[in-house]
Amino acid sequence: MYALRAAVSSIARNKLMAFISLGVIVVSIFVLGIFLTITVNFQSVVSALKEKVEIRVFLLDEIDTTVIADIKGAIMALQGVENVFYTSKDDALEKFQEEYRDKADLLDLVEGNPLPASFSVKLLPEYRTEKKASTIAGRIEKMKGVEEAEYGREWVARLDEVVRILVIVDVSIGVIIALSCLFLVFNTIRLTVFARSEEIEIMSLVGATGSFIRRPFLVVGLLYGFLGGVLASAMLYAIYQVVIVKVPAIKFLEPVHLGGLVLFATLLGYFGSVFSVRRFVTT
């Protein structure tokens, strides 16, 4: 209880430094939260694009119904396959006529139905890459009754490359922002502790132990960090409520992300105090 009372008393006596320290933490965590929100929405866009990665399996004409069932079963048994959807020749023709009504007369130039029966193979999320899709497509093409297995090789390879570059950029910026937060918060708290260096020296001279001197500063750091994290999270939510009116598709942070921000801010405040006090209290 002494440490808490001393911490509150310290904040009350040093309102300006308390305001500056708290403000720096709020701004730092707010910037980190903005970046995290952008990252969450970036991942959402990537997931939506990855959803489009699938393998189209075209079957030979006049294939037997039992063979079609065997092929579907064999495809479903492949590792990485989430689901398989069958499209008959008649369904393919009907779909073509609906989607390309202005060009449907082109089929009149061809005798019969030239469109093949096919399967749409949906892959598990971790298999929606060029390398893994290529492996699965290669296995499917070897099956009896399959004419071709196509997955848009160039498009998927380009998507993989774009995602890889964006992830590297995203992680790099995240590390820079996190380190900047550490630097700003640690140095601000250090200034707060430095402003009370004479008080610390006097307490040492009258026989106070190092742990006794440190405890109030550590509690102050925890309070700064926790309050800073909560205030930054509240600011993020307020801005989100304004932005969502114009951009309804944007996603906000999950509760676990907000909890992580508050925890990160609290740890920043605590360890900032630990390292700052260590300079003046060595015992």
pLDDT (0 to 100) of residue 136: 93
Q: Of residues 199 and 272, which shows the higher confidence score?
A: 272
* Distance in angstroms (rounded) separating the CA atoms of residues 183 and 205: 31
Residue 280 belongs to what H/E stretch?
A: none
Confidence of residue 156 (pLDDT cuts 50, 70, 90): confident
pLDDT tens profile 70-80 = 999 999 999 99
- pLDDT tens track for 118-140: 999 999 988 988 899 999 999 99
Q: Average pLDDT of the chain?
A: 81
What burial letters (b/e) apply to 118-145, b meaning 16+ CB within 10 Å? Answer: bbebebeeebbbbebbbebbeebeebee
Q: CA separation (Å) from 65 to 30, 49, 60, 61, 145? A: 60, 33, 12, 11, 11
The yes or no reply on domain 54-150 and CATH 3.40.50.720 is no
Query: What pLDDT sits at residue 77?
Result: 93
Residue 78, pLDDT score: 93
The whole-number pLDDT of residue 2 equals 56
pLDDT at res. 218:
81
Domain limits, the chain: 2-48+160-278, 54-150
The residue among 148, 152, 271 whose CA lies nearest residue 217 is: 271
- The pLDDT tens digits for 202-227 are 777 776 676 777 777 788 888 888 98
Amino acid (1-letter code) at residue 185: V
Residue recorded with tokens 């600011």: 235
Asked which of 52-56, 143-147, 279-283 is least confident by mean pLDDT, the reply is: 279-283
Structure confidence at residue 114 (pLDDT) = 74
pLDDT in tens, 80-122: 999 999 998 888 777 877 766 665 555 555 566 678 889 999 9
pLDDT value of residue 107: 55
Share of the chain above pLDDT 70, in %: 84
- Residue 14 has what pLDDT? 67
pLDDT in tens, 15-54: 777 777 788 888 888 988 888 888 888 888 888 888 888 9
CB proximity list for 32: less than 8 A, separation 6 or greater = 177, 178, 181, 232, 261, 264
pTM for the predicted model, two decimal places: 0.70
The pLDDT, as a whole number, for residue 153 is 83
